[in-house]
Amino acid sequence: MGVRDSGLVGIETKNETGLITTRLDEIVRWGRKNSLWPLPFGTACCAIEFMGVVSSKFDISRFGAELVRFSPRQSDMILVAGTINYKLAPVLKKIYDQMAEPKYVISMGACACSGGFYDNYATVQGIDQIIPVDVFIPGCPPRPEAILHAVMKLQERIDKEPVPKRGTHRRHEVTPKFRDN
């Protein structure tokens, strides 16, 4: 019985003695995919929509992301919801740098994705200039269903990426203005 035939995630074989065999990278990917600990970085109205997603009506816990943490060292997914100005950009970068690997980023709402309707000197025109973004959620504000869809897309991405060797990190390019020197 193969992985696709069994209906169970990552299980290669299951014999009559009850012994299950699989590959280590399959188990690691399954664990990472189904236990995302989000760090909400809410600066505007999009954060209210995230509060709705963790409620019982939309129930983000179905996707293993209900354990909301407010410490970057205890979370592996940062959800940036709202407007980021240039004064706040170094704070966001520092919080991202404090997160343990692997770390994932969801940019939520028009303001975080592209600056929204704030096209001025003080607003960052997309957080991808500061930190690497894995999934963008458009909308002003985005519906809770869109947030759940973004979590599912992130889970698909995690399931496809190879498990890195110990001590290696995912590398992303960001704007030189916010790079560490």
Q: What is the pLDDT of residue 166?
A: 65
Each residue's pLDDT tens digit, 30-45? 888 888 888 899 888 8
Number of C-beta neighbours around residue 59 at 10 A? 13
Q: 172 or 70: whose pLDDT is higher?
A: 70
Domain ranges for the chain: 1-33, 37-161
Helical segments of 16-132, H only: 24-33, 46-53, 89-98, 110-114
This prediction has a pTM of: 0.78
Note the pLDDT tens digit of each residue in 117-163: 888 888 899 899 999 999 999 888 888 888 889 989 998 988 888 87
CA distance 53 to 58: 5
- Number of residues in the chain: 181
* Residue showing tokens 């592996």: 76
**CATH code matching the domain that covers 37-161, chosen among 3.40.50.300, 3.40.50.12280, 3.60.40.10, 3.30.160.250:** 3.40.50.12280
pLDDT at residue 6 greater than cutoff 70: no
Cα–Cα distance for residue pair 96/80, rounded to 1 Å: 11
